[in-house]
Amino acid sequence: MNVATRTIRLILDLRREGVTDTRVLAAIERVPREMFLPATFVDQAYEDVALPIGYGQTLSQPSVVARMTQALDVPERAKVLEVGTGSGYQTAVLARLSRRVYTIERHQPLLYGAEKRLEALKLRNVTTRCGDGSRGWPTQAPFDRVIVTCAAPFAPEPLAAQLAPGGVMVVPVGRERRDQQVLRIRRTAADDFHVETLWTVRFVPLVAGAAPEEARP
């Protein structure tokens, strides 16, 4: 089965999973998932499974990426903060949907690889940073949308505080992997937040602080 056929099958599977936003589906269709995986796992690129990318991190299932992106409801002119760049797959999807993406990754080698992939795809509306994503990016706030691709033990107040009025954050929350929920948090006024619980997930944890020094590959 060639890549085009696998991509079509993936899009049909996502529709069956309840992903109906045509902009999200089109963005996913245009991002070659195999680019964002180690060679060992390329043959599974279009399966609906999470796959390891090194440094204890994973590339989320396509259905999780699609559902979280749909829940984020990204306007075309949005300024988006992503916490947890990983290999850059979710970043690439967001870049297809928004005006500008600011993305933070604590593992320098992962960020370096993501930067190379985004450049190869000519996605130049992305600004990257290596650092502690739990603190967000205060100097670039406020953001219209915030997405967190790792699980916080509780709704992260520093990130919610960086939302613009009317802004939306989608974040997995839960101390144990078996007890994590995706939350959608909407800032309705300067100090007013509306929280919805969406569905159950399993993510690697959001870790505060800088990662140990790591060499680039």
Residue 193 lies in a domain: yes
pLDDT band at 214 (very low <50, low <70, confident <90, very high): low
Per-residue pLDDT, 167: 97
What are 80's two structure tokens?
């988006």
The enclosing domain of 149 has a CATH number of: 3.40.50.150
Residue 69 lies in a domain: yes
Chain position carrying tokens 């699980």: 151
Contact residues for 43 (Cβ-Cβ < 8 A; gap 6+): none
Residue 103 lies in a domain: yes
pLDDT band at 217 (very low <50, low <70, confident <90, very high): very low
Residue 170 lies in a domain: yes
**Helix, coil or strand: residue 127:** strand
Per-residue pLDDT, 210: 63
Residue 57 lies in a domain: yes
Q: Are 13 and 63 in contact (CB under 8 A)?
A: yes
Residue 217 lies in a domain: no
- State the residue range of the domain holding 139: 3-201
Residue 11 lies in a domain: yes
Lowest mean pLDDT, pick from 35-49, 119-133, 173-187 = 173-187
pLDDT band at 209 (very low <50, low <70, confident <90, very high): low
Q: Is the dihedral of CA 188, 189, 192, 193 positive or negative?
A: positive
Residue 214 lies in a domain: no
What is the number of structural domains in the chain? 1
Catalytic residue set: 60
Helix, strand, coil percentages, rounded to 5, for the chain: 35, 30, 35
177 pLDDT more than 80: no
Strands (E), 85-217: 100-105, 126-130, 143-148, 163-173, 180-189, 192-201
Across all residues in the chain, what is the average pLDDT?
Answer: 93
Per-residue pLDDT, 206: 84
